[in-house]
C-alpha cells in the first residue's frame, strides 16, 4: 500500500444492472475512474475487515455511489467490527452512513441475495485481531468466492468447498510465511483440495512483486500456471456465473 508498486483499490464485480466494490482500499475511486467505470452505477460495497488497505476508500466509493451523498442508495456489507462505532475498529462517518440505503452486518453462515439472484454466503476467517469476513457468490450451479486476508486454518477448505472461481489475497511468496496472511504455497494447497476452475491472486506484497517471475516459474513447476492467475493491475475477467 505504501509504495504503490501495485494498486490497492480492491476489485469490482459487475454485470448488467449490478456493480459491487469489494475491499476498496486507497485509490479505489481514482483507479475506477481511470478505467472508465461509471461508479454511480454501484449498488453495493463490501468490506472484509477494518484495515486501511481494505477500506481506505470506502467513504469515497459511497459518495460515488450516492451522487455525493445526495441520493440514498445501495447496501454496505461488512461485519460488526467494521460497522461498529467503537474507536478501536475502523468505522465510517455518520454523514456517509446516512447516505446508504441499508447497512448489512453479517456473520458466519448468513445469506443475502444481490443483483440477479446472486446468493451471497458469508464466511468467517482468521486475520490477526479483527473480525474478517469472506464470501461465496452462487447462481446457476456456479460459485465465485473471495478469500481476503487470513491464516490457513483447519476448516477453511471445507468452508470454500464447491467454489469454481476465486479471488484470493496472497501477499507472500511460496517461501515466506506471515501470520494472518496466505502465501502462494497456501494457495496451491487450497487449489489442490478444492479444484476450482480459476484462481485470481490479489493483494500481492512487495516481496511477491519483486520476485514475481520466480513465483510464476514455481506455479509452472507445480502444474498450476493455467489455473492460478497473477493479474496485472486493471485487468478484466469474464466469469460464467
Contact 14/42 with Cβ under 8 angstroms? no
In the structure, what pLDDT confidence band is assigned to residue 218 with cuts at 50, 70 and 90?
very high
List, for residues 39-69, the tens digit of each pLDDT value: 999 999 999 999 999 999 999 999 999 999 9
Can you give the pLDDT at residue 85?
Answer: 79
Contact 215/241 with Cβ under 8 angstroms? no
Can you give the pLDDT at residue 55?
Answer: 95
On the 0-12 / 13-18 / 19+ scale of CB atoms within 10 A, 32 is: buried
99 sits in which H/E element: helix 94-99
Can you give the pLDDT at residue 160?
Answer: 98
> Which residue has better confidence, 128 or 146?
146
**Domains of the chain (ranges, CATH numbers):** 1-107 (3.60.15.10)
- Rounded to whole angstroms, how far apart are CA atoms 91 and 81? 8
List, for residues 94-121, the tens digit of each pLDDT value: 999 999 999 999 999 999 999 889 999 9
Contact 127/160 with Cβ under 8 angstroms? no
Kindly state the average pLDDT of the residues 169-195: 95
In the structure, what pLDDT confidence band is assigned to residue 84 with cuts at 50, 70 and 90?
confident
The average confidence (pLDDT) of the chain is 95
In the structure, what pLDDT confidence band is assigned to residue 178 with cuts at 50, 70 and 90?
confident
Can you give the pLDDT at residue 241?
Answer: 85
* pLDDT over 80 (residue 88): no
In the structure, what pLDDT confidence band is assigned to residue 10 with cuts at 50, 70 and 90?
very high
Amino acid at each position: 500500500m505504501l509504495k504503490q508498486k501495485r494498486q490497492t483499490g480492491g476489485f469490482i464485480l459487475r454485470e448488467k444492472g449490478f456493480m459491487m466494490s469489494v475491499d476498496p482500499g486507497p485509490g479505489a475511486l481514482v483507479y475506477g475512474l481511470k478505467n472508465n467505470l461509471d461508479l454511480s452505477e454501484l449498488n453495493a460495497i463490501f468490506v472484509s475487515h477494518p484495515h486501511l488497505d481494505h477500506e481506505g476508500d470506502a467513504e469515497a466509493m459511497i459518495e460515488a455511489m450516492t451522487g455525493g451523498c445526495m441520493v440514498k442508495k445501495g447496501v454496505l456489507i461488512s461485519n460488526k467490527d467494521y460497522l461498529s462505532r467503537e474507536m478501536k475498529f475502523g468505522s465510517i462517518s455518520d454523514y456517509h452512513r446516512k447516505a446508504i440505503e441499508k447497512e448489512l452486518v453479517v456473520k458466519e453462515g448468513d445469506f443475502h441475495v444481490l443483483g440477479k439472484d446472486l446468493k451471497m454466503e458469508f464466511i468467517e476467517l482468521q486475520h490477526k485481531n479483527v473480525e474478517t469476513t469472506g464470501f461465496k457468490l452462487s447462481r446457476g450451479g456456479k460459485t465465485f468466492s473471495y478469500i481476503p486476508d487470513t491464516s490457513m486454518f483447519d476448516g477453511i477448505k471445507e468452508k470454500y468447498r464447491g467454489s469454481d472461481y476465486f479471488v484470493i489475497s496472497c501477499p507472500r511468496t511460496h517461501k515466506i510465511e506471515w501470520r494472518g496472511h496466505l502465501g502462494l504455497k497456501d494457495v496451491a494447497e487450497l487449489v489442490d483440495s478444492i479444484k476450482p476452475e480459476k484462481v485470481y491472486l490479489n493483494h500481492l506484497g512487495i516481496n511477491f512483486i519483486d520476485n514475481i517471475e520466480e513465483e510464476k516459474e514455481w506455479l509452472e513447476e507445480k502444474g498450476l500456471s493455467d489455473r492460478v492467475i497473477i493479474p496485472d493491475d486493471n485487468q478484466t475477467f469474464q466469469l460464467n456465473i
